[in-house]
């Protein structure tokens, strides 16, 4: 009996499967359709499709992209069957939400899932400039941090207006993490504000039906683990933490607790912000760490041995664990969006994954697709 059969027969106890972690992680097919479905037996909301669309490029992340190119990228993703879209006020300081909303405004809201984020309140500002931002082009807003209850509700309401929709599926508390340069060691203080403010308010908004689920959208594991101890989240966006380059912390520390509680993970930056697709950058910087460069060389050699597209393998690897409910690579063009969606349907030879494990490039217990 497979895991799907267990779910269908209601063998779920206390919001989590009555299976061990090893069985729960398992191996899963790489379908665009999310096998966990929107409302599983744990009662936690899930995105509609395993193959998702990340909105960083729509906010002019790394490059200035035209309105037309962004529209075409979303259209290509939609036509390829993608039905989960993620954005944030932070992406281009409102630009990503506006562009995404413009595309989705005439779509049936019941046909797709959408997530945005809270933590920064946007403030109107003509041609705002700040050194070090990754957003290109003109921005007409500045921002301030606010993880209070009032700030969370206001941020969601502002996002709904920019998107032009009446309700949000998922809200992620954004960048509440020690790697946030604005916070550093003070992230714990911000976390305490969120624990007593935003977390409680988002739970209340979920009860009101304004949102369906909430969690954190962060680049480190500590805030995720801490939030599960003090609040009642549904889903987390774990960015930069589960890719072919780096995955051990999520796999060994986060995923078991996620499985135990019946929650799920959205994987952000599965290509390390383009690094695994041939871009000359690693995550959010142009400096490529030595370990990442060496790992890429090893991965590419095995991919060449089996005539496998490494970008496709990277996306399927990030989607393989059972606790992953969606993977959200970004796209700034129609071609990129098509390629990303198509990658979830490709059959990769099992010998490729076997060689990666045999050569200890990935861990023996790392879940892989099509096994």
pLDDT of residue 286: 83
**What band does 3 get if pLDDT is binned at 50, 70 and 90?**
very low
Task: Specify the residue for token string 């939609």.
Answer: 78
What predicted TM-score, i.e. pTM, was given to this entire model? 0.90
- Chain segment 338-363, per-residue pLDDT in tens: 999 999 999 999 999 999 999 999 99
In 313-333, which positions are buried (b, 16+ CB within 10 angstroms) versus exposed (e)? bbbbbbbbbbbbbbbbbbbbe
CB 223 within 8 A of CB 250: no
- Chain segment 59-70, per-residue pLDDT in tens: 999 999 999 999
DSSP 8-state secondary structure symbol assigned to residue 235: E
CA angle 114/228/93 to nearest 5° reads 40
Q: What is the mean pLDDT of the chain?
A: 90
Q: Where are the alpha helices (DSSP H) in 164-309?
A: 187-196, 198-208, 222-230, 248-249, 255-261, 290-305
**What band does 284 get if pLDDT is binned at 50, 70 and 90?**
confident
**What band does 9 get if pLDDT is binned at 50, 70 and 90?**
very low
pLDDT of residue 371: 59
CA-CA distance, 284 to 99, in Å (whole number)?
A: 22
CA-CA distance, 2 to 68, in Å (whole number)?
A: 44
Q: How far is CA 51 from the centre of its chain?
A: 10
Mean of the pLDDT values across residues 171-178? 98
pLDDT of residue 15: 31
């Amino acid at each position: 009996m497979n895991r799907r059969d267990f779910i269908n027969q209601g063998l779920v106890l206390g919001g989590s499967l009555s299976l061990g972690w090893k069985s729960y992680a398992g191996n899963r097919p790489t379908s665009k359709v999310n096998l966990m479905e929107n409302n599983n037996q744990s009662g936690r909301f899930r995105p509609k499709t395993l193959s998702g669309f990340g909105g960083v490029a729509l906010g002019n992340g790394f490059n200035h992209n035209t309105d037309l190119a962004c529209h075409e990228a979303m259209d290509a993703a939609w036509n390829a069957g993608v039905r989960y879209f993620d954005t944030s006020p932070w992406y281009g300081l409102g630009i990503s939400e506006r562009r995404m909303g413009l595309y989705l405004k005439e779509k049936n809201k019941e046909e797709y899932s959408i997530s945005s984020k809270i933590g920064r309140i946007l403030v109107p500002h003509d041609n705002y400039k700040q050194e070090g931002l990754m957003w290109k082009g003109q921005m007409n807003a500045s921002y301030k941090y606010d993880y209070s209850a009032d700030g969370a509700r206001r941020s969601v309401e502002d996002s709904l207006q920019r998107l032009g929709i009446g309700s949000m599926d998922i809200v992620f508390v954004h960048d509440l993490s020690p790697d946030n340069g604005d916070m550093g060691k003070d992230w714990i203080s911000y976390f305490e504000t969120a624990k007593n403010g935003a977390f409680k308010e988002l739970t209340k908004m979920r009860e009101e039906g304004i949102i369906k689920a909430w969690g954190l959208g962060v680049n480190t594991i500590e805030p995720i683990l801490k939030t599960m101890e003090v609040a009642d989240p549904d889903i987390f966006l774990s960015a930069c933490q589960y890719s072919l380059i780096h995955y051990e912390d999520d796999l060994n520390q986060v995923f078991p607790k996620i499985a135990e509680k019946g929650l799920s993970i959205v994987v952000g930056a599965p290509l390390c912000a383009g690094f695994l697709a041939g871009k000359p950058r690693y995550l959010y910087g142009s400096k490529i760490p030595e370990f990442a460069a060496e790992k890429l060389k090893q991965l590419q050699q095995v991919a060449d041995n089996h005539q496998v597209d490494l970008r496709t393998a990277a996306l399927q690897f990030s989607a393989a664990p059972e606790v992953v409910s969606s993977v959200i690579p970004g796209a700034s063009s129609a071609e990129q969006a098509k390629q990303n969606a198509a990658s979830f349907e490709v059959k990769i030879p099992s010998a490729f994954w076997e060689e990666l494990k045999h050569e200890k490039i990935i861990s023996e217990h790392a879940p892989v697709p099509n096994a």
